[in-house]
Protein backbone atom coordinates (compact mmCIF):
# COMPACT_ATOMS: atom_id res chain seq x y z
CA UNK A 1 0.00 0.00 0.00
CA UNK A 2 1.18 3.49 -0.72
CA UNK A 3 1.43 5.60 2.41
CA UNK A 4 -0.64 8.74 1.95
CA UNK A 5 1.75 11.65 1.83
CA UNK A 6 0.90 15.32 1.77
CA UNK A 7 2.87 17.64 -0.43
CA UNK A 8 2.76 21.23 0.65
CA UNK A 9 1.89 23.57 -2.17
CA UNK A 10 2.77 26.96 -0.84
CA UNK A 11 3.57 28.95 -3.93
CA UNK A 12 1.61 30.03 -7.00
CA UNK A 13 1.97 28.03 -10.24
CA UNK A 14 5.01 28.86 -12.37
CA UNK A 15 4.77 29.90 -16.01
CA UNK A 16 7.12 28.25 -18.50
CA UNK A 17 10.80 28.84 -17.81
CA UNK A 18 12.11 31.87 -19.73
CA UNK A 19 13.64 29.91 -22.61
CA UNK A 20 13.97 30.32 -26.34
CA UNK A 21 11.43 27.53 -26.58
CA UNK A 22 8.82 29.46 -24.60
CA UNK A 23 9.57 32.57 -26.65
CA UNK A 24 9.13 30.70 -29.92
CA UNK A 25 5.72 29.07 -29.43
CA UNK A 26 2.40 30.65 -30.30
CA UNK A 27 0.00 31.16 -27.37
CA UNK A 28 -1.77 27.91 -26.54
CA UNK A 29 -5.13 27.30 -24.87
CA UNK A 30 -4.81 26.92 -21.13
CA UNK A 31 -6.57 24.25 -19.08
CA UNK A 32 -8.52 25.07 -15.94
CA UNK A 33 -7.50 23.53 -12.61
CA UNK A 34 -9.42 20.54 -11.30
CA UNK A 35 -12.32 21.46 -9.03
CA UNK A 36 -14.53 18.83 -7.46
CA UNK A 37 -14.67 15.10 -7.93
CA UNK A 38 -14.09 13.21 -11.16
CA UNK A 39 -14.27 9.50 -12.01
CA UNK A 40 -12.18 8.19 -14.90
CA UNK A 41 -10.57 4.96 -16.02
CA UNK A 42 -7.04 6.30 -15.72
CA UNK A 43 -5.61 9.34 -13.96
CA UNK A 44 -2.18 10.58 -15.13
CA UNK A 45 0.12 12.71 -13.00
CA UNK A 46 2.25 15.05 -15.13
CA UNK A 47 1.79 16.68 -18.54
CA UNK A 48 5.24 16.02 -19.96
CA UNK A 49 6.10 13.64 -22.77
CA UNK A 50 5.66 10.53 -20.60
CA UNK A 51 2.30 11.47 -19.10
CA UNK A 52 0.83 12.81 -22.34
CA UNK A 53 2.08 9.85 -24.33
CA UNK A 54 0.37 7.45 -21.94
CA UNK A 55 -2.79 9.58 -22.04
CA UNK A 56 -2.86 9.44 -25.86
CA UNK A 57 -2.25 5.71 -26.00
CA UNK A 58 -4.91 5.07 -23.33
CA UNK A 59 -7.46 7.32 -25.03
CA UNK A 60 -6.72 5.64 -28.36
CA UNK A 61 -7.84 2.43 -26.62
CA UNK A 62 -11.11 4.11 -25.72
CA UNK A 63 -10.39 4.73 -22.03
CA UNK A 64 -11.49 7.83 -20.13
CA UNK A 65 -8.36 9.69 -19.03
CA UNK A 66 -7.63 12.75 -16.88
CA UNK A 67 -4.17 14.37 -16.75
CA UNK A 68 -3.32 16.45 -13.68
CA UNK A 69 -0.37 18.81 -14.09
CA UNK A 70 1.08 20.77 -11.18
CA UNK A 71 2.11 23.71 -13.37
CA UNK A 72 1.34 23.92 -17.08
CA UNK A 73 1.72 21.53 -20.03
CA UNK A 74 5.41 21.02 -20.84
CA UNK A 75 6.60 22.90 -17.77
CA UNK A 76 9.09 20.20 -16.75
CA UNK A 77 12.04 18.73 -18.65
CA UNK A 78 9.87 17.97 -21.68
CA UNK A 79 9.47 21.65 -22.51
CA UNK A 80 13.08 22.63 -21.81
CA UNK A 81 15.32 19.86 -23.14
CA UNK A 82 18.07 19.83 -25.75
CA UNK A 83 15.55 18.30 -28.15
CA UNK A 84 17.95 15.52 -29.17
CA UNK A 85 15.99 12.43 -30.05
CA UNK A 86 18.49 9.60 -29.75
CA UNK A 87 18.45 5.81 -30.12
CA UNK A 88 19.06 3.62 -27.08
CA UNK A 89 19.08 4.69 -23.45
CA UNK A 90 21.49 6.61 -21.23
CA UNK A 91 22.82 3.21 -20.12
CA UNK A 92 24.33 1.69 -23.26
CA UNK A 93 23.39 -1.70 -24.67
CA UNK A 94 26.42 -3.55 -23.28
CA UNK A 95 25.47 -2.39 -19.80
CA UNK A 96 21.85 -3.41 -20.35
CA UNK A 97 23.01 -6.84 -21.53
CA UNK A 98 24.92 -7.21 -18.26
CA UNK A 99 21.91 -6.08 -16.23
CA UNK A 100 19.19 -8.24 -17.82
CA UNK A 101 20.86 -10.67 -20.23
CA UNK A 102 20.94 -10.67 -24.04
CA UNK A 103 17.32 -11.64 -24.75
CA UNK A 104 15.77 -8.93 -22.60
CA UNK A 105 18.41 -6.43 -23.78
CA UNK A 106 17.29 -7.07 -27.36
CA UNK A 107 13.69 -6.27 -26.37
CA UNK A 108 14.90 -3.04 -24.73
CA UNK A 109 16.82 -2.14 -27.89
CA UNK A 110 13.79 -2.80 -30.12
CA UNK A 111 11.71 -0.68 -27.77
CA UNK A 112 14.18 2.19 -28.08
CA UNK A 113 13.80 2.13 -31.86
CA UNK A 114 10.03 1.91 -31.44
CA UNK A 115 10.34 5.07 -29.31
CA UNK A 116 11.95 6.93 -32.22
CA UNK A 117 9.25 5.68 -34.60
CA UNK A 118 6.55 6.72 -32.16
CA UNK A 119 7.79 10.34 -32.21
CA UNK A 120 7.58 10.34 -36.01
CA UNK A 121 4.17 8.62 -36.06
CA UNK A 122 2.65 10.95 -33.49
CA UNK A 123 4.06 14.03 -35.23
CA UNK A 124 2.50 12.85 -38.46
CA UNK A 125 -0.81 11.45 -37.20
CA UNK A 126 -1.58 14.47 -35.06
CA UNK A 127 0.03 17.07 -37.36
CA UNK A 128 2.47 18.25 -34.70
CA UNK A 129 4.78 20.81 -36.24
CA UNK A 130 7.79 20.26 -33.99
CA UNK A 131 10.60 21.08 -36.43
CA UNK A 132 11.75 17.46 -36.58
CA UNK A 133 15.09 17.03 -38.34
CA UNK A 134 16.97 13.75 -38.86
CA UNK A 135 20.67 13.28 -38.17
CA UNK A 136 22.57 12.97 -34.90
CA UNK A 137 26.28 12.71 -34.12
CA UNK A 138 27.98 11.34 -31.02
CA UNK A 139 31.32 13.14 -30.83
CA UNK A 140 34.69 11.89 -29.52
CA UNK A 141 37.24 14.25 -27.99
CA UNK A 142 40.07 11.74 -27.55
CA UNK A 143 41.33 8.48 -29.05
CA UNK A 144 39.85 6.40 -26.22
CA UNK A 145 36.42 7.80 -27.05
CA UNK A 146 36.90 7.30 -30.80
CA UNK A 147 37.63 3.62 -30.11
CA UNK A 148 34.53 3.50 -27.94
CA UNK A 149 32.39 4.82 -30.80
CA UNK A 150 33.85 2.26 -33.20
CA UNK A 151 33.15 -0.52 -30.74
CA UNK A 152 29.65 0.80 -30.27
CA UNK A 153 28.98 0.80 -34.01
CA UNK A 154 30.32 -2.74 -34.47
CA UNK A 155 28.32 -4.03 -31.53
CA UNK A 156 25.05 -2.46 -32.66
CA UNK A 157 25.54 -3.68 -36.22
CA UNK A 158 26.67 -7.21 -35.34
CA UNK A 159 24.33 -7.96 -32.44
CA UNK A 160 21.28 -5.88 -33.32
CA UNK A 161 21.60 -5.45 -37.09
CA UNK A 162 21.40 -1.66 -36.72
CA UNK A 163 22.59 -0.25 -40.01
CA UNK A 164 22.00 3.50 -39.92
CA UNK A 165 25.31 4.36 -38.19
CA UNK A 166 28.32 5.85 -40.00
CA UNK A 167 31.70 6.36 -38.34
CA UNK A 168 33.26 9.75 -39.09
CA UNK A 169 37.05 10.00 -39.16
CA UNK A 170 38.63 13.26 -38.02
CA UNK A 171 38.42 15.02 -41.43
CA UNK A 172 34.81 13.90 -42.00
CA UNK A 173 33.88 14.92 -38.47
CA UNK A 174 35.43 18.35 -38.79
CA UNK A 175 33.67 18.85 -42.13
CA UNK A 176 30.35 18.02 -40.43
CA UNK A 177 31.03 19.97 -37.20
CA UNK A 178 33.27 23.02 -37.54
CA UNK A 179 35.22 22.45 -34.34
CA UNK A 180 38.75 21.27 -33.80
CA UNK A 181 37.70 19.83 -30.47
CA UNK A 182 36.40 16.59 -31.97
CA UNK A 183 38.52 13.86 -33.50
CA UNK A 184 35.80 11.44 -34.59
CA UNK A 185 32.06 10.98 -34.62
CA UNK A 186 29.29 8.43 -34.99
CA UNK A 187 26.47 9.64 -37.20
CA UNK A 188 23.00 8.14 -36.93
CA UNK A 189 20.48 8.98 -39.64
CA UNK A 190 17.61 7.46 -37.61
CA UNK A 191 18.01 9.86 -34.65
CA UNK A 192 17.59 13.62 -34.85
CA UNK A 193 16.24 16.67 -33.10
CA UNK A 194 13.04 18.59 -32.54
CA UNK A 195 11.53 21.58 -30.73
CA UNK A 196 10.61 19.86 -27.45
CA UNK A 197 8.05 22.38 -26.22
CA UNK A 198 6.21 22.41 -29.55
CA UNK A 199 6.27 18.62 -29.49
CA UNK A 200 4.90 18.43 -25.94
CA UNK A 201 2.21 21.05 -26.56
CA UNK A 202 1.30 19.11 -29.72
CA UNK A 203 0.92 15.93 -27.69
CA UNK A 204 -1.41 17.78 -25.32
CA UNK A 205 -3.49 19.01 -28.26
CA UNK A 206 -3.61 15.45 -29.62
CA UNK A 207 -4.64 14.08 -26.22
CA UNK A 208 -7.39 16.69 -25.87
CA UNK A 209 -8.66 15.86 -29.37
CA UNK A 210 -9.10 12.26 -28.18
CA UNK A 211 -11.20 13.38 -25.22
CA UNK A 212 -8.46 13.43 -22.56
CA UNK A 213 -9.28 15.98 -19.87
CA UNK A 214 -6.20 18.03 -18.91
CA UNK A 215 -6.09 20.07 -15.73
CA UNK A 216 -3.24 22.52 -15.22
CA UNK A 217 -2.17 24.09 -11.92
CA UNK A 218 -3.48 20.97 -10.24
CA UNK A 219 -0.68 19.36 -8.22
CA UNK A 220 -1.59 15.99 -6.80
CA UNK A 221 -0.93 16.34 -3.10
CA UNK A 222 -2.04 12.95 -1.92
CA UNK A 223 -2.26 9.50 -3.45
CA UNK A 224 -4.53 6.90 -1.88
CA UNK A 225 -3.85 3.38 -3.02
CA UNK A 226 -6.75 1.00 -3.56
CA UNK A 227 -9.46 0.27 -6.06
CA UNK A 228 -10.32 2.86 -7.11
CA UNK A 229 -7.07 4.73 -6.57
CA UNK A 230 -7.52 8.32 -5.39
CA UNK A 231 -5.48 11.33 -6.47
CA UNK A 232 -6.26 14.42 -4.44
CA UNK A 233 -5.45 17.99 -5.39
CA UNK A 234 -6.07 21.00 -3.15
CA UNK A 235 -9.47 21.55 -4.74
CA UNK A 236 -10.40 18.23 -6.23
CA UNK A 237 -10.25 14.47 -6.26
CA UNK A 238 -9.89 11.99 -9.11
CA UNK A 239 -10.99 8.40 -8.56
CA UNK A 240 -9.61 6.01 -11.16
CA UNK A 241 -9.07 2.33 -11.88
CA UNK A 242 -5.39 3.08 -12.52
CA UNK A 243 -2.95 5.88 -11.83
CA UNK A 244 0.10 6.75 -13.92
CA UNK A 245 2.94 8.63 -12.22
CA UNK A 246 4.91 10.63 -14.78
CA UNK A 247 6.35 13.37 -12.58
CA UNK A 248 9.97 12.31 -13.15
CA UNK A 249 12.46 14.67 -11.44
CA UNK A 250 9.58 16.77 -10.10
CA UNK A 251 7.66 14.04 -8.31
CA UNK A 252 9.56 14.57 -5.08
CA UNK A 253 8.03 13.80 -1.74
CA UNK A 254 4.80 12.31 -3.05
CA UNK A 255 6.05 8.70 -3.03
CA UNK A 256 9.40 8.42 -1.21
CA UNK A 257 9.79 4.73 -2.18
CA UNK A 258 10.31 5.50 -5.85
CA UNK A 259 11.93 8.88 -5.20
CA UNK A 260 14.96 7.14 -3.67
CA UNK A 261 15.76 5.53 -7.02
CA UNK A 262 16.31 8.84 -8.78
CA UNK A 263 18.35 11.96 -8.22
CA UNK A 264 17.30 15.30 -9.73
CA UNK A 265 20.26 17.02 -11.37
CA UNK A 266 20.23 20.51 -12.93
CA UNK A 267 21.39 20.87 -16.53
CA UNK A 268 21.49 23.99 -18.69
CA UNK A 269 21.08 25.33 -22.23
CA UNK A 270 21.89 28.63 -23.92
CA UNK A 271 20.41 29.94 -27.19
CA UNK A 272 22.41 32.43 -29.21
CA UNK A 273 20.97 35.37 -31.06
CA UNK A 274 19.90 34.53 -34.64
CA UNK A 275 23.01 33.54 -36.64
CA UNK A 276 21.35 33.12 -40.02
CA UNK A 277 21.15 30.04 -42.24
CA UNK A 278 24.60 30.40 -43.73
CA UNK A 279 26.44 30.68 -40.44
CA UNK A 280 24.51 27.75 -38.98
CA UNK A 281 25.39 25.65 -42.02
CA UNK A 282 29.04 26.63 -41.57
CA UNK A 283 28.91 25.27 -38.00
CA UNK A 284 26.84 22.14 -38.58
CA UNK A 285 26.95 21.33 -42.27
CA UNK A 286 24.04 18.88 -42.34
CA UNK A 287 22.04 20.37 -39.49
CA UNK A 288 22.60 17.30 -37.30
CA UNK A 289 22.38 17.46 -33.52
CA UNK A 290 25.64 16.71 -31.69
CA UNK A 291 26.41 15.35 -28.23
CA UNK A 292 29.89 14.51 -27.03
CA UNK A 293 30.43 11.38 -24.96
CA UNK A 294 32.00 12.95 -21.90
CA UNK A 295 30.22 12.20 -18.65
CA UNK A 296 29.53 15.93 -18.18
CA UNK A 297 28.74 16.41 -21.81
CA UNK A 298 28.23 19.27 -24.28
CA UNK A 299 25.29 18.94 -26.67
CA UNK A 300 24.19 21.33 -29.36
CA UNK A 301 22.18 21.84 -32.52
CA UNK A 302 20.78 24.64 -34.64
CA UNK A 303 17.20 25.78 -34.29
CA UNK A 304 14.73 26.25 -37.13
CA UNK A 305 15.20 30.02 -36.85
CA UNK A 306 18.99 29.58 -37.14
CA UNK A 307 20.36 29.96 -33.65
CA UNK A 308 22.82 27.68 -31.96
CA UNK A 309 21.29 25.94 -28.93
CA UNK A 310 24.15 24.85 -26.71
CA UNK A 311 23.66 22.63 -23.67
CA UNK A 312 26.00 21.46 -20.98
CA UNK A 313 27.02 21.84 -17.34
CA UNK A 314 25.39 20.03 -14.48
CA UNK A 315 24.50 21.09 -10.98
CA UNK A 316 24.10 18.34 -8.42
CA UNK A 317 22.80 20.85 -5.91
CA UNK A 318 20.21 21.80 -8.64
CA UNK A 319 21.06 25.48 -7.99
CA UNK A 320 21.78 27.27 -11.28
CA UNK A 321 25.41 28.29 -11.79
CA UNK A 322 26.04 32.00 -11.19
CA UNK A 323 25.81 34.21 -14.31
CA UNK A 324 24.34 31.37 -16.31
CA UNK A 325 24.18 33.18 -19.67
CA UNK A 326 27.87 34.03 -19.57
CA UNK A 327 28.79 30.56 -18.30
CA UNK A 328 26.97 28.94 -21.24
CA UNK A 329 28.59 31.34 -23.69
CA UNK A 330 32.06 30.46 -22.37
CA UNK A 331 31.27 26.79 -22.72
CA UNK A 332 30.09 27.28 -26.30
CA UNK A 333 33.31 29.19 -27.15
CA UNK A 334 35.42 26.20 -26.07
CA UNK A 335 33.79 24.31 -28.94
CA UNK A 336 33.23 27.13 -31.42
CA UNK A 337 35.78 29.91 -30.79
CA UNK A 338 34.67 31.44 -34.10
CA UNK A 339 31.49 32.62 -32.32
CA UNK A 340 33.41 35.22 -30.26
CA UNK A 341 31.19 38.02 -31.61
CA UNK A 342 27.94 36.19 -30.84
CA UNK A 343 25.59 37.05 -28.00
CA UNK A 344 23.85 34.38 -25.94
CA UNK A 345 20.26 35.61 -25.89
CA UNK A 346 18.62 33.05 -23.63
CA UNK A 347 19.84 30.66 -20.96
CA UNK A 348 17.75 28.32 -18.86
CA UNK A 349 17.95 25.09 -16.94
CA UNK A 350 15.86 22.11 -16.00
CA UNK A 351 16.01 18.96 -13.96
CA UNK A 352 16.89 15.54 -15.29
CA UNK A 353 16.18 12.51 -13.13
CA UNK A 354 19.13 10.15 -13.13
CA UNK A 355 19.19 6.62 -11.79
CA UNK A 356 22.27 4.96 -10.29
CA UNK A 357 22.83 2.79 -13.39
CA UNK A 358 21.35 5.30 -15.92
CA UNK A 359 18.73 2.80 -17.08
CA UNK A 360 15.12 4.04 -16.89
CA UNK A 361 13.11 3.01 -13.85
CA UNK A 362 9.63 1.57 -14.54
CA UNK A 363 7.38 -0.25 -12.16
CA UNK A 364 4.04 -0.81 -10.50
CA UNK A 365 2.80 -0.20 -6.98
CA UNK A 366 -0.13 -2.15 -5.60
CA UNK A 367 -1.16 -3.49 -9.00
CA UNK A 368 -2.80 -0.37 -10.43
CA UNK A 369 -0.27 2.48 -9.96
CA UNK A 370 2.25 2.59 -12.79
CA UNK A 371 5.35 4.76 -12.99
CA UNK A 372 8.20 5.51 -15.40
CA UNK A 373 11.01 7.84 -14.46
CA UNK A 374 14.79 8.24 -14.40
CA UNK A 375 15.46 8.60 -18.14
CA UNK A 376 18.83 10.07 -17.15
CA UNK A 377 18.83 12.84 -19.79
CA UNK A 378 17.62 10.53 -22.55
CA UNK A 379 13.87 10.82 -22.34
CA UNK A 380 12.49 12.34 -25.52
CA UNK A 381 12.01 9.05 -27.34
CA UNK A 382 12.12 6.87 -24.21
CA UNK A 383 9.49 8.93 -22.34
CA UNK A 384 7.06 8.60 -25.23
CA UNK A 385 7.73 4.91 -25.39
CA UNK A 386 7.21 4.58 -21.63
CA UNK A 387 3.75 6.10 -22.01
CA UNK A 388 2.90 3.61 -24.74
CA UNK A 389 4.11 0.64 -22.66
CA UNK A 390 2.17 1.81 -19.62
CA UNK A 391 -0.96 1.94 -21.76
CA UNK A 392 -0.30 -1.63 -22.93
CA UNK A 393 0.17 -2.75 -19.32
CA UNK A 394 -3.06 -1.05 -18.19
CA UNK A 395 -4.86 -2.95 -20.96
CA UNK A 396 -3.41 -6.20 -19.59
CA UNK A 397 -0.45 -6.73 -21.91
CA UNK A 398 2.52 -5.99 -19.68
CA UNK A 399 5.08 -8.04 -21.58
CA UNK A 400 7.23 -5.15 -22.78
CA UNK A 401 6.56 -3.00 -19.70
CA UNK A 402 7.76 -5.83 -17.45
CA UNK A 403 11.06 -6.19 -19.28
CA UNK A 404 11.74 -2.61 -18.18
CA UNK A 405 10.35 -3.13 -14.70
CA UNK A 406 12.77 -6.03 -14.19
CA UNK A 407 15.79 -3.73 -14.63
CA UNK A 408 17.47 -3.69 -11.20
CA UNK A 409 17.75 -0.30 -9.49
CA UNK A 410 19.58 0.63 -6.31
CA UNK A 411 18.56 3.47 -3.99
CA UNK A 412 20.76 6.56 -4.00
CA UNK A 413 22.71 6.33 -0.78
CA UNK A 414 22.31 8.88 1.95
CA UNK A 415 18.57 9.62 2.09
CA UNK A 416 17.06 12.92 1.07
CA UNK A 417 19.60 15.22 2.76
CA UNK A 418 22.79 13.24 2.18
CA UNK A 419 22.05 12.12 -1.36
CA UNK A 420 23.52 15.24 -2.95
CA UNK A 421 26.92 15.23 -1.20
CA UNK A 422 27.23 11.47 -1.80
CA UNK A 423 26.42 11.97 -5.47
CA UNK A 424 28.82 14.91 -5.82
CA UNK A 425 31.61 12.77 -4.45
CA UNK A 426 30.84 9.96 -6.89
CA UNK A 427 30.57 12.41 -9.78
CA UNK A 428 33.96 13.93 -9.07
CA UNK A 429 35.47 10.65 -10.23
CA UNK A 430 33.56 10.78 -13.52
CA UNK A 431 34.50 14.43 -14.07
CA UNK A 432 38.15 13.48 -13.56
CA UNK A 433 37.71 10.66 -16.05
CA UNK A 434 36.53 13.21 -18.66
CA UNK A 435 39.92 14.90 -18.28
CA UNK A 436 41.96 11.74 -18.78
CA UNK A 437 43.32 11.04 -22.30
Ligand X SMILES: Cc1cc2nc3c(=O)[nH]c(=O)nc-3n(C[C@H](O)[C@H](O)[C@H](O)COP(=O)(O)OP(=O)(O)OC[C@H]3O[C@@H](n4cnc5c(N)ncnc54)[C@H](O)[C@@H]3O)c2cc1C
Q: How far is the CB of 437 from ligand X (least distance, A)?
A: 27
Q: How far is the CB of 1 from ligand X (least distance, A)?
A: 19
The DSSP H or E segment spanning 239 is strand 236-245
Of 102 and 231, CB closest to ligand X:
231
Of 71 and 368, CB closest to ligand X:
71
Cβ proximity of 40 and 213 under 8 Å:
yes
What is the three-class DSSP state of 373? strand
Q: How far is the CB of 211 from ligand X (least distance, A)?
A: 20
Of 64 and 358, CB closest to ligand X:
358
Q: How far is the CB of 359 from ligand X (least distance, A)?
A: 13
Of 170 and 320, CB closest to ligand X:
320
The DSSP H or E segment spanning 133 is strand 133-140
Q: How far is the CB of 207 from ligand X (least distance, A)?
A: 13
Residues binding ligand X (CB under 6 A): 7, 45-51, 68-71, 75-78, 80-84, 86, 219-220, 246-251, 254, 267, 269, 299, 311, 350-352, 375, 377-380, 383
Supply the DSSP symbol for 414. T
User: In 284-347, which ranges are continuous DSSP H helix?
Assistant: 324-335
CB atoms within 10 A of CB 221: 18
Q: How far is the CB of 30 from ligand X (least distance, A)?
A: 14
Cβ proximity of 67 and 240 under 8 Å:
no
Cβ proximity of 434 and 423 under 8 Å:
no
Q: How far is the CB of 171 from ligand X (least distance, A)?
A: 27
Q: Alpha-carbon distance 57 to 263, whole Å? A: 28
First-to-last alpha carbon distance for the chain, in angstroms, is: 50
User: In 225-342, which ranges are continuous DSSP H helix?
Assistant: 256-259, 277-283, 324-335
Cβ proximity of 306 and 280 under 8 Å:
yes
Closest by CA position to 126, among listed 24, 198, 35? 198
Amino acid sequence: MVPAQRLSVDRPPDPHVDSWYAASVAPVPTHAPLRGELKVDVCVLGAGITGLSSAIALAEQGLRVAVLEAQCVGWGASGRSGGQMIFGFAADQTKLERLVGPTAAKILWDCSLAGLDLVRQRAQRYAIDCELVHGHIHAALKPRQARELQHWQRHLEDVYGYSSLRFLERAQMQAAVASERYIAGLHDSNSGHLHPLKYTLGLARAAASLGVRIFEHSPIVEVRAGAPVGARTEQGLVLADSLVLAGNAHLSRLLPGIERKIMPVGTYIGATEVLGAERCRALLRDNAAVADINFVLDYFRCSADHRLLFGGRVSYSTLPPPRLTEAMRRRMLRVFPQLQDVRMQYAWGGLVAITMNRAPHFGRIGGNIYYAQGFSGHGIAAGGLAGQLIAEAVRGDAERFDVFSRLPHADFPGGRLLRTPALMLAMTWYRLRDLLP
